[in-house]
Homo-oligomer: A and B are copies of this chain.
Amino acid sequence: MRPTLGWIGLGNMGRPMVTNLLAAGYEVTVYNRTEATAAPFVERGAKLAASPKELAEQVDVVITMVSDSTAFHAVFEGEDGLLAGVRAGQTVIDMSTIAPETSRDAAAKLREKGGHFLDAPVSGSVKPATDGTLVILVGGERDVYEQHVPIFDVLGKKSFYFGDNGQGANAKLVINMLLGITMQGLSEALVLGAKTGLDRATLLEMVSVTACASPIIAMKTPSILEENFTAAFALKHMEKDFGLALEAAKQAEAALPATSAAHQSFIAAKANGHGDDDIAAILVQLEKMSGLR
């Protein structure tokens, strides 16, 4: 029998994910700080909870999709928080990107009450969230992960189990740093091209048919050609993820020379006013550094 689900966080990502769960026939209860956001989902059959605690008391599995570790704390702890409502055997799954320590801490607190915790951050943004093609990176107990695969299969095209709590978050850092380096590398290539007289559109078309072609480059190509840097993934968030990856690397004694060089460029981009632009705007900062702007 399908578990009943509780959902916290109806932002850009949370809304299409809940839509997919409802479409798949799950019974979903939602909680959102601003109740108006929840209304359209109630119309489509979702129930509404008055607080995270109440939500936890009404469902089998709680999923949180909030902005960061601080937002997770706000719904997890406190008098009206999730933890206060949790009962033995229940599972909380966080699909936001929270710090590995936050994940381990939440897991420990749930364990004390007989509950379980999975950190299950996703790779992919609004489009794959809508299409149900996210990639889901999971840390926690393996059997708890396996029990919840049917839910992940609705939300994503593939889920991966990476080990204890915090390992989902670590895997997310790995994939995001690779994303950031790809954008940095592409941008440096385009700066060299611009400085040596190669046509940008032709270069990008060339890249698209070589072994370096990737979905992220394909996705960002129109933004680059139109110089439209409205954020799909804000540069400041990538700067933060680079910082977290390098912090984890420092603690684990991993030397990451190119990642660290890229991170400094992202810090420069932020310092030059591009924090709220899309990650593709790293190109603009590199152009400035080479006197092109």
A interface residue numbers (CB < 8 A to B): 123-124, 135, 137, 157-158, 160-163, 167, 170-171, 173-175, 177-179, 181-182, 184-186, 188-189, 191-199, 202-203, 205-207, 209-216, 219, 239, 243, 245, 247-250, 252-265, 267-268, 270-273, 286, 288-291
Whether the pair B286, A267 counts as a contact (CB closer than 8 A) is: no
CA distance A181 to B182 in the complex (A): 8
CA distance A254 to B265 in the complex (A): 10
Whether the pair A206, B252 counts as a contact (CB closer than 8 A) is: no
Whether the pair B188, A185 counts as a contact (CB closer than 8 A) is: no
- Copy number in this complex? 4
A175 neighbours in B (Cβ, 8 Å) = 189, 206-207, 210, 212
Whether the pair B245, A182 counts as a contact (CB closer than 8 A) is: no
CA distance A198 to B216 in the complex (A): 23
6 further interface pairs, Cβ-Cβ under 8 Å (given A163-B199, A178-B185, A247-B247):
A123-B210, A185-B185, A210-B215, A211-B216, A212-B215, A256-B264
A189 neighbours in B (Cβ, 8 Å) = 174-175, 177-178, 181
Expressed in whole angstroms, the minimum distance between the Cβ of A261 and any Cβ of chain B is 4
